[in-house]
Amino acid sequence: MASWYGPTFEGQRAASGEIYDSGQLTAAHRSLPFGTRVRVRRLDSEQSIVVRINDRGPYVASRIIDLSYAAALRLGATDPGVIPVALEVVDDAGTAPAAGSTWFFAVQAGTYRDPANARRTRDLMLEKFGGTVTMRRSGEFWCVLVGSSSTAAEAESLAAEVRRVGQPYRSAFVVRSEHPVE
């Protein structure tokens, strides 16, 4: 399922660092690298559009992508708000890991402006799961990452456990990196 976000986010900084412009054909995805171009095809019609990933989300488990207002408008998604879609990467923006390396996967348990809130989440995740839990700064935000798996399947399993910790963590999602979480 795809949803959209629009004018209320206009001018705010996206996770990629760029300023959100609801008139651009962009989208938020949980793990695709920023700059990746994705064809979004409505499953209940013949409409499709290519968007560029520049933000993180959606933070609702049943949704795979959040479209900019312009993209949603072109797909006819603004009235229903949520539409069934299929995604196809059309330009991977360098998503393959460097030669001789592999991807690592972690669970992003939360993103915070206040580092004290990030520390509280980090401490709770350490208490619940032990192992690898870290905070990383991303612009003005602090991200709490749990685990460091070599497969997306392992990370998805851990994400399900993190979501069961409580309401604040129900939007936990898998992220990937060329570097292990330390």
DSSP state of 31: S
Q: Give the amino acid at 2.
A: A
Please name which of 64, 79, 73, 82 lies closest in space to residue 3, comparing C-alpha atoms.
82
pLDDT band at 89 (very low <50, low <70, confident <90, very high): confident
Q: Which residues contact 68 (CB under 8 A, 6 or more apart)?
A: 4, 5, 6, 20, 21, 22, 23, 24, 25, 26, 27, 51
Q: Where are the chain's structural domains? A: 2-91, 104-177
DSSP reduced 3-state for 95: coil
DSSP reduced 3-state for 115: helix
| pLDDT for the residue numbered 101 | 54
The domain 2-91: what is its CATH number?
Answer: 2.40.40.10
* Buried b or exposed e, range 51-63, using 16+ CB within 10 angstroms: bbbbbbbbeeeeb
| pLDDT for the residue numbered 181 | 64
Please state the pTM of the whole predicted model: 0.57
- 68 has pLDDT over 90: yes
Q: What is the mean pLDDT of residues 51-62?
A: 87
Q: Which residues contact 72 (CB under 8 A, 6 or more apart)?
A: 2, 4, 6, 78
- Place domain 104-177 in its CATH homologous superfamily: Sporulation related repeat (3.30.70.1070)
